[in-house]
Amino acid sequence: MQLKNLSTKYLGRNAIHYNSIDSTQNEIWRLYEKEATPNGVLVMADIQTQGKGTHGRKWYTDVANNIAFSFLIKVDCYVKKLDELTTKIAEIITNILKEKYKIITQIKEPNDIILNNKKLGGILTQTKVIEEKVKCLVIGIGINTNQEKFAPEIENIATSIKKETGKEINSKEFIAEFCNRFEKYIEEKI
């Protein structure tokens, strides 16, 4: 599948869409194990049955049209060069929401996006390190966009853009904009 309005060299150029999958993060790692995975491959899904959050928590993606994607970027750099990477990703997300959609969000460092004191989204950053050097980044992003009902265990702490603002976000447009901004950042960083 193709993402429109990409200005990237590699990030998102190979995009795979699933209606439903266990986890976009798991799928990226499965692709990575095949070793022929192209740099910048991106996996997105309407529904994740076993979405991953940080610290082994579950990320709930049980309604179509939320944003759920993961991508792989091949690098060869020391871990120190990637300090504050997750926070920078959060800044890119909050800037897109503010500039393109007029939605003001906050960052709960290092990896949560907050709207009206509730969790709107999260970032999961994983790496493959060999001999003290990072060889690849696998980054997963989930943003509750159009979901209106949440599981009882998170309904008081989670929210969505539609629930808070009434606005609908086109997932593929958002992902393309993120790819454009993030590739530029990571190219400058490493």
Q: What is the pLDDT at residue 34?
A: 86
Burial (CB < 10 A; 0-12, 13-18, 19+), residue 156, is exposed
> What's 123-182 look like in SS3?
EEEEEEEECCEEEEEEEEEEECCCCCCCCCCCCCCECCHHHHHCCCCCHHHHHHHHHHHH
Fold of 15-189: BirA Bifunctional Protein; domain 2 (3.30.930)
Q: In terms of C-beta distances under 8 Å and separation of at least 24 residues, what long-range contacts does 163-166 make, across chains too?
A: 164/115, 164/116, 164/118, 164/120, 165/103
Identify which of 115, 69, 78, 80 has the alpha carbon closest to the alpha carbon of residue 94. Answer: 115
Q: Indicate if the pLDDT at residue 53 is higher than 80.
A: no
Q: How far from chain centre, in Å, is Cα 116?
A: 20
Phi, psi of 14 (to 5 degrees): -110, 95
Would you give the DSSP letter of residue 66? S
Residues pairing with 118 in the sheet: 115
Apex 45 CA angle, 162 and 90, nearest 5: 60
Q: pLDDT for 136-180, tens place per residue?
A: 999 999 999 988 888 888 889 999 999 999 999 999 999 999 999
Distance CA 78, CA 123 (A): 21
Residues pairing with 107 in the sheet: 113
Structural domain boundaries in the chain: 15-189
pTM summary value:
0.92
At position 35, the amino acid (one-letter code) is E
Q: What is the mean pLDDT of residues 100-125?
A: 96
Q: pLDDT for 61-105, tens place per residue?
A: 556 668 999 999 999 999 999 999 999 999 999 999 999 999 999
| CB contact at 8 A, 113 and 122 | yes
Distance CA 70, CA 147 (A): 19
At position 1, the amino acid (one-letter code) is M
